[in-house]
Chain A
């Protein structure tokens, strides 16, 4: 079972994404006022959940790096940050595509939207920082930065409650979600979480393998010289 996991897990991920697509398009009821465009919600929220989990992973791995000083923790943090930025990009693109026909505008400087954009900039900055300063110094600077940047994650989540902008409160009450929308929503969130987990794992494995090859290359060059 474990030997075949690298084949079975991506297949499960693909099936889960197809199930999420089917759930959003075929099973979920049409929202009365917004119509079909509201179906973006299932992937918008799934992407947001995946991004939050990825950034939580960055936070934990950064603490792990500071405590243990092991490059594996740094690799895990940067792998999760990369995937988190990808899913935040999905949130930031699908949101305006949903907002345009409903609010009549692509973008509003609403607290939820603004803090999410900040989140994207913070973790893109993290990736730039990680690339710019190589070695241990860069890893430590990036870990400290990631821990500080994580403050924005709860701010994004609670922004709809604290500042009451135009963005609806879906999970924290007042969203008026039709009970028939909940099963496809849960399938979608699960599919996105599984997909992000697969991508983080794959990126992490590649980063660790690159580190090992770097070490072997340096050792070989030392032996040759």
Chain B
């Protein structure tokens, strides 16, 4: 590998790592939003049930 290849592999690794972490965070956010939706449904059902 030439010197410049090592340099770009290093940069690519960092950017890929940051991107992968951002995808993980967005996955966690999505899970959380789904849980909030389910919770809202349950609360609405409970309110209807309790009158």
Contacts and interface: CB of A to CB of B under 8 A. Distances in A.
A and B found bound together: yes
B32 A40 contact: no
B14 A90 contact: yes
Contact of A199 (B4, B21, B28, B32): B21
A224 interface: yes
Interface string A193-211: 0010001001100100110
A10 to B, nearest CB: 9
Interface in A167-223: 195, 199, 202-203, 206, 209-210, 213, 216-217, 220, 223
Contacts of A134: none
By Cβ-Cβ distance, the 7 closest A-B pairs, closest first, are: A37-B3, A94-B10, A97-B10, A40-B10, A97-B6, A35-B3, A37-B6
A86 interface: yes
B36 interface: yes
Interface of B: 1, 3-4, 6-7, 9-11, 13-14, 17-18, 21-22, 25, 28-29, 32, 35-36, 39, 42-43, 46
B6 A209 contact: no
Contacts, number: 72
A19 B12 CA distance: 16
Given A90-B14, A213-B32, A39 B7 contact: yes
A220 B43 contact: yes
Contact of A90 (B3, B17, B46): B17
Contacts of B29: 206
A194 to B, nearest CB: 12
Interface residues of A, number: 34
20 contacts: A17-B18, A37-B3, A37-B6, A40-B6, A40-B7, A44-B10, A89-B17, A90-B13, A90-B14, A93-B10, A93-B13, A97-B6, A97-B7, A97-B9, A199-B25, A210-B32, A217-B39, A220-B43, A220-B46, A223-B46
Contacts of B18: 17, 86, 195
A220 B7 contact: no
A32 B21 CA distance: 35
B25 A203 contact: yes
Contacts of B25: 199, 202-203, 206
B44 to A, nearest CB: 12
